[in-house]
Amino acid sequence: MRTLASPASHEVVIKRSRFVAHAARVDSQADTLDFYESVIDPSATHNCWAWRLDYLYRFNDDGEPGSTAGRPILSAIEGKELDHVMVVVTRYFGGIKLGVGGLVRAYSGSAAKCLDQAGIVDIQPSTECTIKAAFQWTGQVYSALEACGAMKLSEEFLDEGVQILVEIPESELAKLKTILRDTTRGEVSL
């Protein structure tokens, strides 16, 4: 999953209208509301927003002509292949109408520049699992964990062997199962 490294803000003036974009990572729909309430300016002409959270997304034009604000903001998020992200762009009207194309460019451009300033990180989903192995297989288990990028969280020595709690990227779990099966003749439980 690609998401934002940190919150960010970006401001631009286009034909005397001021656009202030704020972007942040959100992990729930409640977070989207909290973020929105923390950055909007009720005295501004428009507070347009968009967010994407897993398979859900929402956007709002807040009084701008249909699909000239919220949808372009969402397009900026999707264009950078981001998830768990919300962007709010506040517009202070400067007296000059921008037209449909001008609004789309202003909202999408300010959102995209704000997202660039925030920086992007890749977060790999991970899972925890417990491995139980007889002492004779500990070398193979440790090698398999290293090969799959697993992180040992705890290790307990029992009478019958070792029990290890690990955190591993979900994308590497099948590989770990295969390596353990092949190198220990299926005698290690995962």
What percent of the chain lies above the pLDDT cut of 90? Answer: 91
Residue 124 has a pLDDT of 84
pLDDT at position 125: 84
pLDDT at 106 over 90: yes
Mean pLDDT of 51-73: 96
Q: Enter the CATH code of domain 2-122.
A: 3.30.230.30
State yes or no: pLDDT of 13 exceeds 90. Answer: yes
Query: In this model, does residue 176 exceed pLDDT 90?
Result: yes
Lowest mean pLDDT among 22-36, 56-70, 151-165: 151-165
Q: For residue 179, which phi and psi values (nearest 5 degrees)?
A: -65, -45
Every domain range in the chain assigned CATH 3.30.230.30: 2-122
Q: For the segment 117-160, what is each residue's pLDDT rounded down to a tens digit?
A: 999 999 888 899 999 999 999 999 999 999 999 999 999 999 98
**Does the pLDDT at position 114 exceed 90?**
yes
| Whether 44 contacts 93, CB under 8 Å | no
Residue type for 171, please? Answer: S
Task: Give ranges for CATH 3.30.70.240 in the chain.
Answer: 126-183
Q: Is 25 left (phi over 0), alpha (psi -120 to 50) or beta?
A: beta
pTM beyond cutoff 0.85: no
Query: What's 126-183's CATH class?
Result: alpha beta
